[in-house]
Amino acid sequence: MDILLFPPVVFIISLLFAMCLSGFVSGWAPAPKAEAGSGRDKPYACGEDIPAEKMIPDYQEFFPFAIFFTLLHVAGLMLATWSLNPLSAGLEMVVGYVAAVAVILAILFVG
């Protein structure tokens, strides 16, 4: 019976239980039917009737900010957990790391 306490077995049993429970409960609340011509599938633009167009997302401006966010959070984590004990010669490493992060950010946004 100890096999039932093994984490993968417990996970599979829990997953099967959740699937059965959701299948049983989902029949109680059916989705509402959409009325034809109700405008639920049209874009809303302050009352104007604008024809729907296929949009192509452009992530060119998003990626520099995502990299900036990731880099600063990793740098903050590194600096917060770094030992600043003067006897451990860690201060030079911290200054070097901050300088490297500054150079990378300058390259990211200026270059």
Domain boundaries, the chain: 55-110
Taking the C-alpha atoms of residue 52 and residue 94, their distance in angstroms, rounded to an integer, is 53
pTM beyond 0.75: no
Going by the DSSP 8-state scheme, the letter that residue 29 receives in this structure is S
Start-to-end Cα distance in the chain = 63
Contact 97, 91 (CB under 8 A): no
pLDDT (tens digit per residue) in 2-56: 888 889 999 999 999 999 998 888 777 777 776 776 666 666 667 676 776 777 8
Contact 97, 57 (CB under 8 A): no
